Structure 1
Amino acid sequence: MPFPKTYVDQMLLNWGDRLFPDPLRHVRAPRMSRAELQQDVRRMREQLARTLGRTPEVMVRITNKASSAQGMSAVRRHLRYISRNGKVELEDQDGMTMLGRDALRDLTDAWQLGGWGIAEESRRREVFNVLLSMPPGTDRQSVRNAARAFAAEEFGDGRRYVFAAHNDEAHPHVHLSVQVRGPDGRRLNPRKQDLQRWRERFAGKLREYGVQANATRRLARGETRRYAKQAIVHMTARGETTRFWRSDAAPSRALWNAHARSLEAWQGVAHAMARSQGADDRNLAVMVTDFVQAMPISRDRRGMRRTYPDELERRRIPLHERGSGDAKRSEKQRELFPDDPHWRMER
């Protein structure tokens, strides 16, 4: 018997929030109204559609972490770099544009002497250098517009920043330099969840400008590829050999454990959709199954099975036999729907 739509929506939110947690929602949000619940369900379905459709993922990261803590001398070098020594236009928090060496020198003087000021040498981080990037082929003007809107929303509290769009590489990207100390003297201290929020907001701004963009976590995509840091990229470009970093590292037990909960959540989503009354939802369950089977982590499971058979065997045990808090519900679901994709993916 198919599940009622309300139950399907609740299961979708329950499992989907483990894959795509909303970084903008307060952890102590009050009880949601029916309208808010429907809005969350709509958000989750849109997120699923983007992820299953393999919508291009945004990339947001903090660069030059070490040099950012060395005062105005390091800040000056970075501003020269992103402006190509004055040849690339810079834009600040007020929408003012700067081009040329004289304008660049005026900007660095204003940053060093104005506001809270920045010492020439410092042991504390004075500026965060943020890279906002999209895959090749993305409209470059839209990336710039989205970066401008993102910076205004995230740092538009009087904090000083400048950004520059680089068009000389295949990936359209924007370099954003933000002063750590705001007008009230408080210092930025972004954590991992803040970076995810930045990705979500940048992707949202891109969609507002007509660019399909997504911002999911690597675990939700079953991604196992290791990305080289900027220093490694530059070393490789110079023909130097790295001693410790390897892009083709063998799968590990920790890697499997990190992805296990996400795979479990995908199984829950497929289970909810497979028992829906709507044909579109049932088709979505098949798409989820295909998506999971095509994940890099799924392709690596053969190597993991040879190395860690006991761990993988434990993951095949149903939830109710592992003592999970969802034991009764999981046992009933398996008994009622033995041919459901929720269980097929565990075999």
Structure 2
Amino acid sequence: MTAALDRWLDDFGATLDPIYSRARHVKGPRKEKSTPTAPKSRATGPATRESRRATLERIARKSPEVMVKITGGGRNMRQIKAHMDYISRNGEIDVEDEQGLIYQGKKDVRHVRDAWRDGGHTIPYEGEDGPREAFNIMLSMPAGTDKRAIKDAARAFASEHFDGYQYAFAGHDDKDHFHIHLTVKAVGLDGQRLNPRKGDLHRWRVTFAEQLRERGVDANASPRKARGVVRKAERQALRAITERNGKSKVLRKHRAEAIQEARGRGEHLNPAQDRISAVRVLTLKGYGEVAKILSKGDAADRELALQIVGLVKTFQQLNTAHQSRVKAIRDILSTTQQSRVEAIRETLSSRGHIDGSRNEGRA
């Protein structure tokens, strides 16, 4: 591997994945909060050069991407119990805790709830103004992935990142893919409160992917921009509001910005647009540079260079959610304006102001 390629791999994170490749650790906790979650082993420091290349190879061959996200969390025991009932399907699905104990049936699930209640940190039974007392996390892979491997990887993931915390998890197979629901008590046995941030979420994905690979499953945890994906998945909360025909402040703000731009009154109301475009330019430039370097290497390097070129060719045209909203509104405005013009023309024509004037001219 050439020195030039080494340098590019060192900058791989700066272009595509700063949290993973660089020693850009999660910032320290605020004074009023205790230490946030921190990876305990493989995910602690900057990635090694070998692991960065392996990540690049998985991106190039389009390995399945893991999904790890926080879906919510209870602020009181009533909400926590409701979520435990949900993940256990009211006792119909086995639930496993941090000690590896299996709970079956409604009565057993109640024992898990009681263990949380008596676990050294008092959780209010009701009330929603306090801090989050539990974090609900979902872990999944695309359809067709071995279910046992997913569950075993999730168990190892939870043990690695939530040692000293009470948690429970269960597997659901009611959608098009098997997934794990993991709920973690926010305050550990030592009184430390979880405070997960963006860097933690990324490292959780990395760990879950590593655990899957150790079980023979091809899995990757790369950033969307490295794969040419622009749009984030819609947040579950926003989707729920939309399904209830409600309104979200975020959605209203985005729509207002799009309307302003569509009418030509605010081209820079969405600064994220410029950032996304700049990142795409850097991504394409970076892939071009590494492909050029690899093309001068051995057979394996040249093969990887061809895969990278093929990957870039699959990148879809840059089209952000903001751009789509602006285009949709412009189409509506254009259609409305055209309809008005046609209505006016029809009115004038019916009154003889168009065809009649033409006939008079000809006469």
State TM-score, norm by structure 2. 0.69
SS of the residue aligned with 2:195? coil
Q: Specify the alignment match of 2:293 in structure 1.
A: 272
2:51 to 33, 43, 48: 43
Aligned equivalents of 1:79, 1:154: Cα separation in 2: 20
Q: Specify the alignment match of 2:20 in structure 1.
A: 23
Residue type at the aligned position of 1:13: L
Aligned equivalents of 1:82, 1:25: Cα separation in 2: 36
1:256 to 273, 277, 288: 277
Q: What percentage of residue pairs aligned between the two structures are identical?
A: 39
Aligned equivalents of 1:25, 1:288: Cα separation in 2: 22
* Conservation of the 8 A alpha-carbon contact between 1:9 and 1:41: no
* Conservation of the 8 A alpha-carbon contact between 1:15 and 1:265: no
Q: 1:31-180 maps to which residues of 2 (within 5 A)? A: 40-65=48-73, 68=74, 70-122=75-127, 123-156=130-163, 158-180=164-186
* Conservation of the 8 A alpha-carbon contact between 2:140 and 2:178: yes
* Conservation of the 8 A alpha-carbon contact between 1:12 and 1:41: no
- Per-residue CA deviation, residues 1-30 of structure 1 (Å, 9 max, x unaligned), is xxxx431442342333333457387559xx
Using a 3 Å threshold, how does the CA distance of structure 1 residues 78 and 24 change in structure 2: closer, same or farther?
Answer: farther
Deviation at 1:119, TM superposition (A): 1.5
Aligned equivalents of 1:24, 1:80: Cα separation in 2: 39
- Per-residue CA deviation, residues 226-259 of structure 1 (Å, 9 max, x unaligned), is 4222234446667x5878389xx99943431343
Runs of 5+ consecutive residues of structure 1 not aligned to the other structure: 29-38, 308-347
Using a 3 Å threshold, how does the CA distance of structure 1 residues 137 and 100 change in structure 2: closer, same or farther?
Answer: same
Q: Specify the alignment match of 1:187 in structure 2.
A: 193
- Per-residue CA deviation, residues 165-209 of structure 1 (Å, 9 max, x unaligned), is 112221211011111111221111111011000000000001111
Deviation at 1:268, TM superposition (A): 2.7
Runs of 5+ consecutive residues of structure 2 not aligned to the other structure: 26-46, 263-271, 327-363
SS of the residue aligned with 1:255? helix
- Per-residue CA deviation, residues 259-301 of structure 1 (Å, 9 max, x unaligned), is 3333332233223213x332332332232122123113x4649
- Per-residue CA deviation, residues 127-150 of structure 1 (Å, 9 max, x unaligned), is 111100111111111100100010
Aligned equivalents of 2:241, 2:89: Cα separation in 1: 21
Deviation at 1:63, TM superposition (A): 0.7
* Conservation of the 8 A alpha-carbon contact between 2:88 and 2:170: yes
Aligned residues: 282
